[in-house]
Amino acid sequence: MTELPLGLTYDDVVLIPQRSTLRSRSEADTTGSFSRRLRLRVPIASANMDTVTEWRMSVALAERGGLGVLHRFMPISEQAEQVLRVKRHEPGYVAEPETIGADATVSAAAERMRSRRVSSLLVVDGEGRLLGILSRRDLRPDGDGTLTVAQRMTPRAQLVTARPGVALDDARALLDRHRLEKLPVVDERDVLRGLITDHDLARLAERPAASRDARGRLLVAAAVGAVGDYRERAAALVEAGADALVIDIAHGHSDLAIAAAERVRADHPQVELVVGNVATAEGARDLAAAGADGVKVGVGPGAACTTRLVAGAGVPQITAVSACARALADTDVPVIADGGIRNSGDLVKALAAGAGCAMIGHLLAGTEESPGETVVRGGQRYKVYRGMASRAAARARWQREHDGEDLDELALAVTPEGVETVVPFRGPVADILRDLAGGLRSGMSYCNARTLDELRANARFMRITEAGRREGLPHGLEALLTASAEPAAAPLDELLR
Ligand code: XMP
């Protein structure tokens, strides 16, 4: 116990500003790596947690240059279906537009538009066939409120439509030629299959950085475990088109994880394979030797983690990332800094310490696209966020797997290493990504770095004191200290009381 090593985390260090040759933040290229062959223009992956990543989060991230890692706490067929949904997603194309029946009242339609936050509804019959479209301007008051959608909609005969698979350029031309805002997509039986909107196409043009495979489809990764049905799951996910598999185990530096990595590597030599989590140089090297194309690093830094409290084990995250990145420096296997990122400053520090990208849970859990349940308290919207080793997550899993058994008894058999909490609703994930990427560019400019390689090479860290850390927080303005500066980590019950 005499020569104990020092472990540092994000709050213990700052990056020393350097003379910069960058004239604008836009000169900084944020492209990073998730694995050997998967490059991300925005070096952010979402955590494979059941309150963070399902297909909506994956689509939203990949469209903006990041990557979603689908969680594995669902049946194999459902996870494979989610991979397919991302791979089939056509940008600028709404696969499941909001619909309404022709007999509904106009006031019910108005309520639906408000609650779903859409500006039109497609009117369909019981078989899903297109009957018309109802726009916001058709919602004029109708006196006694008994008018039906059929009486106000623009009927099918007057609509211009397209067929599934229409090229986006052709859709654009149709919208322009007919001065339309919406182009319903119908099949040969006139069944509604999607919607292309002027608004979405315009947004698409602003998003050239999307993460795509060689065929232009969005990238998606998916998690598997290291025991039980993991090989069957891996096979189904690869078959569905997953670009990367993530072997997800709390203590990744274990014989179990290494054996699982070797088996999955042998079963699927072509797929990108990420394995984790580890926190030491030896762990990173062993996983790379077992065939990992990317190594996930982080034992205990996550916002909903209690591993360090429960097991007393872990490594502060800056030290862990830096040690693992150095251990893999002579390979092309990147490190994914997983957990503990609370703001763009932490992201810059993780990448400067050697990570190829960061994995984020808490910061993304409050977004529209996360699958977490929404709760409203005191007029504020929150979303549930829970550690995957929390009792609540375990209960949800058992509910699915052990139908009819005494869940309380099962619950007593495990010691949780995570908590359940709520995070404030934060709007679309696009806003969070924009702020994180903007902060990253700023950090790169302070380090005179045009690329993440330059950031790593140029970065000079300084260790700071607790007084130094406090100085860096907004002060004298207590009201401005928000949840984003200090993540909420109270148990759900306490927060909702
Ligand atoms: P953030 O801080 O971004 O971290 O929310 C997300 C990461 O936290 C890890 N994770 C857990 N760690 N117990 C743990 O010790 C848990 O219950 C748990 N759930 C998630 C995971 O690595 C995730 O990506």
Per-residue pLDDT reduced to its tens digit, 366-416: 999 999 889 998 889 999 999 988 888 887 777 777 666 666 666 667 788
Q: How far is the CA of 73 from the centre of ligand 1 (A)?
A: 15
Looking at ligand 1, which atom is closest to the CA of residue 308? 15
In the prediction, which pLDDT does 490 show?
A: 47
Question: How far does residue 467's CA lie from ligand 1's centre (Å)?
Answer: 28
Two tokens, residue 466: 């607790």
pLDDT classification of 478: cutoffs 50, 70, 90:
low
**For range 130-141, the mean pLDDT:** 87
198 band by pLDDT with thresholds 50, 70 and 90 = confident
Let me know if the fold of 10-89+218-495 is the same as that of 94-200.
no
According to the model, what pLDDT value does residue 30 have?
Answer: 98
Q: Any catalytic annotation for residue 305?
A: yes
What's the mean pLDDT in 227-240?
A: 97
Any idea which fold 94-200 has? Answer: CBS-domain (3.10.580)
Q: Rounded to the nearest 5°, which phi and psi values hold at 124?
A: -130, 160
Cβ neighbours of residue 312 closer than 8 Å, sequence gap 6 or more:
none
Compute the distance from residue 302 Cα to the ligand 1 centre, in Å.
4
- Prior bond of 48 cis (ω within 30°): no
The CA dihedral of 242, 244, 245, 246, to the nearest 10 degrees, is: -140
Q: What is the pTM of this model?
A: 0.82
Listed range (63-77, 177-191, 220-234, 454-468) with the worst mean pLDDT: 177-191
391 C-alpha to center of ligand 1: Å?
Answer: 14
275, 388, 420, 436: residue to mutate for ligand 1 pocket, most atoms within 8 A of CB = 388
Instruction: For residue 360, give the ligand 1 atom closest to its CA.
Output: 3
Give the model confidence (pLDDT) of 77-129 as tens digits: 999 999 999 998 876 777 778 899 999 998 888 888 887 778 889 999 999 99
Q: Which atom of ligand 1 is nearest to the CA of 276?
A: 22
SS3 content of the chain, % helix, strand, coil (to 5): 35, 20, 40
Give 160 Cα–ligand 1 centroid separation in angstroms.
Answer: 48
Which residue lies with its CA nearest to atom 20 of ligand 1? 387
CATH architecture of the domain with residue range 10-89+218-495:
Alpha-Beta Barrel (3.20)
Axis-axis angle for helices 281-289, 317-327 (nearest 10): 40
Amino acid type, 474:
P
Evaluate whether 33 touches 66 at the Cβ level (below 8 Å): no
> Using one digit for the tens of pLDDT, what is the confidence trace for 302-352?
999 999 999 999 999 999 999 999 999 999 999 999 999 999 999 999 999
CA of 258 to the centre of ligand 1 (A): 21
Residue of 10, 49, 50, 72 best suited for mutating to test ligand 1, as the one with most atoms within 8 Å of CB: 49
Contact 133, 184 (CB under 8 A): yes
CA of 32 to the centre of ligand 1 (A): 21
Confidence class of residue 488 from pLDDT cuts 50, 70 and 90? very low
Task: Give, as one character, the DSSP assignment of residue 277.
Answer: E
Name every protein residue with a CB atom under 6 angstroms from any ligand 1 atom.
47, 49, 277, 298, 300, 302-305, 307, 338-341, 359-362, 387-390, 417-418
- Does the structure show a pLDDT above 50 at 497? no
Nearest CA to ligand 1 atom 18: 387
Atom of ligand 1 minimally distant from the CA of 340: 2
> What is the CA 472 to chain-centroid distance, rounded?
28
Is it the case that residue 34 has pLDDT exceeding 90?
yes
- Average pLDDT taken over every residue of the chain: 90
Residue 170 has pLDDT above 80, yes or no: yes
pLDDT at 100: 94
161-165, 381-385, 442-446, 476-480, range with greatest mean pLDDT: 442-446
Of the candidates 305, 324, 357, 447, the residue annotated as catalytic is 305
Ligand 1 atom nearest residue 362's Cα: 5
- Tell me the per-residue pLDDT of 36-72, one tens digit each, with 9 for 90 and over: 999 999 999 999 999 999 999 999 999 999 999 999 9
Domain boundaries, the chain: 10-89+218-495, 94-200
Residue 179, classed as helix, strand or coil, is coil
Q: How far apart are CA 68 and CA 57, in angstroms?
A: 6
Pull the structure tokens for residue 232.
């069957």
Query: How does DSSP assign 152-169, residue by residue?
Result: HSEEGGG---B-TT--HH
| Sign of the C-alpha dihedral computed for residues 167, 172, 177 and 178 taken in this order | positive
Q: What percent of the chain has pLDDT over 90?
A: 70
